[in-house]
């Protein structure tokens, strides 16, 4: 029998051991009394949009930080994140000739899975940093101590972030008639500026033409929605805002629109899947090279037993080198089961490597290579790649190498900010969008058939 707490009866990986369980319980109770971040009708609306994306009628752009940080909950940083997502989405609208659904990895992406519970430096051994939701990153025993109060701080910052995003969008920030509102000043010198501006001009011309000919303002052009997503990792935090609402059946996680289960916790018989199987939100599952047929089919069965389109997304993160051997079999297994799935490509997490100096980075060409392969493989199997999932920032950081400006390993020392995984910077993110748009124009992809 499912309940918001039934995950507790299953093995749970990547969970935090708090020194005082009563303090954690008190925080979880308090979180449950606070107003929700999102509403059930937004969740239901997103599910309908994702269903259309799975059938090839829309395209999903999911992006943001690997790990949000409390210190970055600042107006210019949030606005820049919205700006880059808007710019990318405009480019993708043009490339895909489909409406784009914008999903931020923000307003709650504060918890991180770690491959090691402990970190060792110079003979000292401390708990790993697990994201600002749990502890702090400096390497001291006090900073690494998990503190349940941080769950409240994270929830509040998620609310502040989302409130600011909603206010900007409502105020016309995202109006397609005014793309200059979301120009990123420092990007003027970018090698990509001309290509981007040409695309914007083309869209503005098309918009004016339509409005002049039809005599109406085109729908959805002056109010663009953003949805939120984060990894549903910290189960007491997710459980706290899991509610029933008047006039609708089922349970909703009202702290996020679109949670996903990370590759380390996507085990059908374990706690994260148990929690996610009971909520009405659309759910993503990360799939990697190690995902087996039994695992994928069991995940599909548990997480979407009624096989509803728009309910379940598989976010494949295979790495450029493994895509050709692994992606076809994932598509084939899902097809054999007749599963209605939304396919999203995460070209980041299979392409992480360490430089000779031990810095985590990703190469632009590997990221683009995996994306292009994903489009080609899906199209070749008459499947449809319905979205992309990218770690990026609107800031001018140097964390990934390559791209039009040819960032090298030496550049990584200049502006490496991420606490966890390397993100595409503003220019690299826009360039990826331009490349995806080109690829989509060249890859006519038919909608996924509903049944095998
Ligand atoms: C992530 O999305 O930041 C992440 C940890 O991904 P994965 O679970 O795919 O490794
Ligand atoms: Co990451």
The average pLDDT across 361-373 equals: 98
Q: Which helix (H) or strand (E) holds 96?
A: helix 75-96
Q: Please, which residues have CB less than 5 A from ligand 2, an ion?
A: 66, 421
Pocket test for ligand 1, best of 65, 115, 232, 349 (most atoms within 8 A of CB): 349
CA of 448 to the centre of ligand 2 (A): 28
Report CA-CA distances (Å) from 96 to 63, 93, 226, 243, 446.
Answer: 17, 5, 19, 37, 12
**pLDDT for 7-18, tens place per residue?**
999 999 999 999
Atom of ligand 1 nearest to the CA of 420: 3
Lowest mean pLDDT among 24-28, 180-184, 411-415, 433-437: 180-184
The average pLDDT across 386-396 equals: 96
**What is the percentage of the chain residues whose pLDDT exceeds 90?**
82
**pLDDT for 339-363, tens place per residue?**
999 999 999 999 999 999 999 999 9
Other CB atoms within a 10 A radius of the CB of residue 411 amount to 16
CB 60 within 8 A of CB 388: yes
Residue 448: pLDDT above 60?
A: no
Lookup: tokens for 200: 């914007």
**pLDDT for 96-125, tens place per residue?**
889 999 999 999 999 999 999 999 999 999
Q: Is the CB of 56 under 6 A from ligand 1?
A: no
CA of 219 to the centre of ligand 2 (A): 35
Q: Is the CB of 349 under 6 A from ligand 1?
A: yes
Tell me which residue has its CA closest to atom 3 in ligand 1. 66
Q: Is the CB of 407 under 6 A from ligand 1?
A: no
Nearest-angstrom CA–CA distance, 345 and 61: 10
Kindly state the greatest CA–CA separation across the chain.
72
Atom of ligand 1 nearest to the CA of 315: 9
Supply angle C-alpha 189, 194, 198, rounded to 5.
145
Atom of ligand 1 nearest to the CA of 265: 8
pLDDT of residue 398: 96
The model's pTM is 0.94
Half-sphere exposure of 227 (CA within 13 A, CB side): 26
Q: Is the CB of 95 under 6 A from ligand 1?
A: no
Cα torsion 430, 436, 442, 446 to 10°: value is: -140
Report CA-CA distances (Å) from 363 to 66, 115, 193, 367, 407.
Answer: 16, 22, 22, 6, 9
Nearest-angstrom CA–CA distance, 228 and 412: 29
pLDDT of residue 450: 40
Q: Is the CB of 262 under 6 A from ligand 1?
A: yes
181 band by pLDDT with thresholds 50, 70 and 90: confident
The average pLDDT across 424-449 equals: 84
447 band by pLDDT with thresholds 50, 70 and 90: low
CA of 449 to the centre of ligand 2 (A): 32
What domains does the chain contain, in order, with CATH numbers?
A: 6-113+148-441 (3.20.20.70)
β-pairing verdict for 283-287 and 312-316: parallel
The average pLDDT across 423-443 equals: 93
Tell me which residue has its CA closest to atom 6 in ligand 1. 262
Helix axis angle for 364-380 and 320-336, nearest 10°, is: 30
pLDDT of residue 23: 98
pLDDT of residue 186: 61
Nearest to 285 by CA among 300, 305, 301: 300
Nearest to 334 by CA among 310, 307, 371: 307
**pLDDT for 66-98, tens place per residue?**
999 999 999 999 999 999 999 899 899 888 889
Lookup: tokens for 441: 């124009």
Report the SS3 class of residue 218: coil
Mean pLDDT over the full length of the chain: 92
**pLDDT for 241-299, tens place per residue?**
999 999 999 999 999 999 999 999 999 999 999 999 999 999 999 999 999 999 999 99
Pocket test for ligand 1, best of 65, 105, 113 (most atoms within 8 A of CB): 113
Taking the alpha carbons at both ends of the chain, their separation in whole angstroms is 32
β partners of residue 402: 407
- Top pLDDT among 172 and 308 is at 308
163 band by pLDDT with thresholds 50, 70 and 90: very high
Residue 387: pLDDT above 50?
A: yes
Nearest-angstrom CA–CA distance, 94 and 227: 21
pLDDT of residue 150: 98
Nearest-angstrom CA–CA distance, 85 and 64: 8
Residue 385: pLDDT above 60?
A: yes
């Amino acid at each position: 029998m499912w309940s918001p707490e039934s995950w507790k009866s299953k093995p749970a990986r990547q969970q935090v051991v708090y020194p005082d369980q009563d303090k954690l319980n008190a925080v979880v109770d308090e979180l449950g009394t606070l107003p929700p971040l999102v509403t059930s009708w937004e969740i239901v609306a997103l599910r309908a949009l994702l269903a259309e994306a799975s059938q090839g009628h829309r395209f999903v752009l999911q992006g943001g930080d690997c790990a949000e940080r409390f210190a970055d909950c600042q107006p210019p940083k949030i606005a820049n994140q919205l700006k880059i997502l808007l710019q990318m989405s405009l480019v993708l609208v043009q490339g895909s000739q489909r409406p784009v659904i914008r999903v931020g990895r923000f307003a709650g992406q504060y918890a991180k899975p770690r491959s090691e519970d402990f970190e060792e430096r110079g003979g000292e051994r401390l708990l790993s940093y697990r994201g600002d939701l749990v502890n702090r990153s400096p390497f001291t025993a006090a900073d690494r101590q998990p503190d349940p109060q941080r769950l409240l701080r994270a929830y509040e910052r998620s609310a502040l972030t989302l409130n600011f995003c909603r206010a900007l969008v409502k105020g016309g920030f995202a109006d397609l008639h005014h793309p200059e509102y979301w120009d990123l000043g420092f990007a003027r010198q970018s090698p990509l500026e001309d290509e981007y501006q040409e695309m914007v001009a083309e869209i503005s011309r098309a918009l004016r033409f339509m409005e002049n000919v039809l005599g109406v303002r085109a729908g959805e052009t002056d109010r663009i929605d953003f949805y939120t997503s984060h990894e549903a990792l910290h189960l007491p935090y997710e459980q706290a805002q899991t509610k029933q609402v008047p006039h609708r059946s089922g349970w909703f996680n009202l702290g996020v629109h679109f949670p996903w289960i990370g590759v380390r916790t996507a085990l059908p018989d374990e706690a994260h899947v148990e929690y996610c199987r009971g909520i009405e939100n659309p759910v993503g599952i990360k799939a990697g090279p190690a995902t087996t047929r039994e695992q994928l089919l069991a995940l599909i069965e548990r997480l979407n037993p009624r096989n509803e389109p728009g309910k379940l997304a598989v976010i494949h993160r295979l790495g450029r080198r493994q895509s050709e051997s692994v992606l076809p079999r994932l598509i084939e297994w899902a097809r054999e089961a007749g599963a209605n799935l939304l396919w999203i490509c995460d070209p980041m997490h299979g392409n992480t490597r360490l430089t000779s100096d031990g810095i985590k980075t990703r190469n632009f060409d590997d990221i683009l290579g995996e994306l292009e392969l994903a489009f080609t493989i899906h199209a070749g199997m008459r499947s449809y790649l319905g979205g992309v999932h990218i770690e990026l920032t609107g800031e001018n950081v140097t964390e990934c190498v390559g791209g039009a400006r040819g960032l090298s390993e030496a550049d990584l020392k200049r502006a490496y900010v991420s606490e966890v995984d390397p993100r595409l910077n503003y220019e690299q993110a826009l360039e990826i969008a331009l490349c995806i748009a080109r690829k989509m124009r060249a890859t006519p992809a038919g909608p996924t058939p509903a049944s095998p």
